[in-house]
């Protein structure tokens, strides 16, 4: 009840800057579809009519999109798949480590295992990590986490710290927790071939320099975790049209966009001889600059 009151009051205070054609809210850490529902309802009550497009990540019953909850993790999986193709890594012979086992990390882990054939050897959350050289049953780990509040103490695994987890030898490391997890103090010990930044800002600038010198292929957060905002856009489109897509269609559209985005960034990475993060920024700036040039300056 307190969280609902806080959300509704906060929405009231910022309602002047919200709107389906202005600023649209979406869930992140410590928020969920219910939070979005409260924001939408409060905004709609002030307007006098229902405005579903003011938020995304809503429950399906009030205009949410199928596939939205898994979108960030699914999009990250697509970029990892494309990175493996580029580097000549066979997913069925590869290992993965995932830090963070919430909405994003658990989805990435499960999709890497079930869709691509990865062996997920370690996962972790705020209370610690678990490791198994033979691979984890990612679905069972999620059920255990929901039941006990943590992945720790999952049967048949070795307990490790988050520091140890990040430094494990693996093909793909997925930081899917909070920011600043890979720093100058541990970057030199990371042994992964690919880092897929499912979280926002998991790597500090100083660590980034070390990682690039080590030759680790980084899928930057601006690309790796773009699946969530992409399907948020899909949700806004569906709300605006009043016509909703099936989950298969949502996932297929997401796959096309994530695959093309990875290819576009990779092309700049190869052509300009820069790292993937810089390539992603270059592509973004180029697109905005071109749009600005075409529109011109008024008056």
pLDDT in tens, 84-136: 999 999 999 999 999 999 999 999 999 999 999 999 999 999 999 999 999 99
Q: What average pLDDT does the segment 277-283 reach? A: 98
Instruction: Tell me the β-bridge partners of 160.
Output: 129
pTM of the model: 0.93
Q: Spell out the domains of the chain, with CATH numbers in brackets.
A: 1-64 (3.40.50.10860), 70-299 (3.40.50.720)
Using the 8-state DSSP alphabet, how is residue 14 labeled?
H
Residues 90, 193 contacting (CB under 8 angstroms): no
Q: What is the pLDDT of residue 284?
A: 97
Strand partners, 174: 98
The pLDDT, as a whole number, for residue 149 is: 94
Q: Can you give the C-alpha Rg of the chain in angstroms?
A: 20
Burial environment of residue 260 by CB neighbours within 10 A (0 to 12, 13 to 18, 19 or more): exposed
Tell me what the pLDDT averaged over the chain comes to: 96
Confidence at residue 77, expressed as pLDDT on a 0 to 100 scale:
98
Phi-psi region of 74 (alpha: psi -120 to 50; beta: other; left: phi over 0): alpha
Strand arrangement, sheet containing 128-131: 158-160, 128-131, 119-125, 95-99, 172-175, 194-196, 217-219
- What does the block give as tokens for 71? 């979108």
Residue 32 CB partners (closer than 8 Å, separation 6+)? 57
pLDDT of residue 299 exceeding 90, the answer is no
Nearest to 118 by CA among 126, 131, 109: 109
* Percentage of the chain modeled with pLDDT above 70: 100
Cα angle 90-261-252, degrees, rounded to a multiple of 5: 75
- 198-204 CB contacts, 8 Å cutoff, 24+ apart: 198/72, 198/73, 198/76, 198/100, 198/104, 198/105, 198/108, 198/174, 198/224, 198/225, 199/100, 199/104, 199/175, 199/225, 200/225, 202/175, 202/177, 202/178, 203/175, 204/180
Decide: 78 and 256 in contact? Cβ < 8 Å.
no
pLDDT digits (tens, 9 = 90+) for 189-218: 999 999 999 999 999 999 999 999 999 999
299 prior amide bond cis, ω within 30: yes
Q: What DSSP character marks residue 30?
A: T
Chain segment 25-75, per-residue pLDDT in tens: 999 878 999 999 999 999 999 999 999 999 999 999 999 999 999 999 999
Average pLDDT over residues 219-225: 97
Q: Cβ atoms within 10 A of the Cβ of 158, count?
A: 11
pLDDT of residue 194: 98
Question: DSSP string of 107-166?
Answer: HHHHHIIIII--EEEEEEETTEEEE-TT---HHHHHHHHHHHSSSTT-TT-EEE-HHHHH
Residue 246 is predicted with a pLDDT of 97
Question: In which band, very low, low, confident or very high, does the pLDDT at 161 lie, cut at 50, 70 and 90?
Answer: very high
Which pLDDT score, from 0 to 100, does residue 30 have? 86
Is 220 a residue whose pLDDT tops 90? yes
């Amino acid at each position: 009840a307190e969280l609902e009151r806080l959300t509704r009051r906060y929405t009231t205070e910022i309602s002047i800057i919200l709107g389906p054609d202005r600023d649209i809210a979406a869930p992140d850490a410590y928020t969920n579809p219910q939070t979005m529902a409260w924001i939408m309802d409060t905004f709609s009550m002030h307007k006098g009519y229902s405005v579903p497009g003011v938020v995304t990540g809503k429950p399906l019953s009030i205009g949410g999109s199928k596939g939205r909850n898994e979108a960030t993790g699914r999009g990250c999986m697509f970029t990892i798949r494309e990175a493996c193709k580029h580097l000549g890594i066979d997913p069925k012979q590869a290992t993965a480590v995932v830090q963070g086992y919430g909405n994003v990390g658990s989805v990435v882990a499960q999709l890497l295992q079930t869709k691509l054939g990865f062996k997920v050897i370690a996962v972790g959350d705020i209370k610690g990590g678990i490791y198994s050289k033979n691979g984890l049953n990612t679905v069972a780990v999620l059920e255990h986490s929901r039941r006990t509040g943590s992945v720790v103490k999952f049967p048949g695994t070795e307990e490790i710290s988050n520091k140890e987890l990040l430094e494990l030898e693996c093909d793909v490391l997925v930081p899917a927790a909070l920011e600043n997890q890979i720093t100058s103090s541990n970057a030199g010990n990371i042994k992964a071939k690919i880092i897929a930044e499912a979280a926002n800002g998991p790597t500090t600038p100083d660590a980034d320099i070390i990682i690039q010198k080590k030759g680790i292929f980084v899928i930057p957060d601006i690309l790796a975790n773009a699946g969530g905002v992409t399907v948020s856009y899909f949700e806004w489109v569906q709300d605006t049209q009043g016509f909703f897509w099936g989950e298969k269609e949502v996932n297929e559209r997401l796959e096309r966009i994530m695959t093309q985005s990875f290819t576009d960034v990779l092309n700049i990475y190869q052509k300009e001889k820069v790292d993937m993060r810089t390539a992603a920024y270059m592509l973004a700036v180029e697109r905005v600059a071109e749009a600005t040039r075409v529109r011109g300056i008024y008056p």
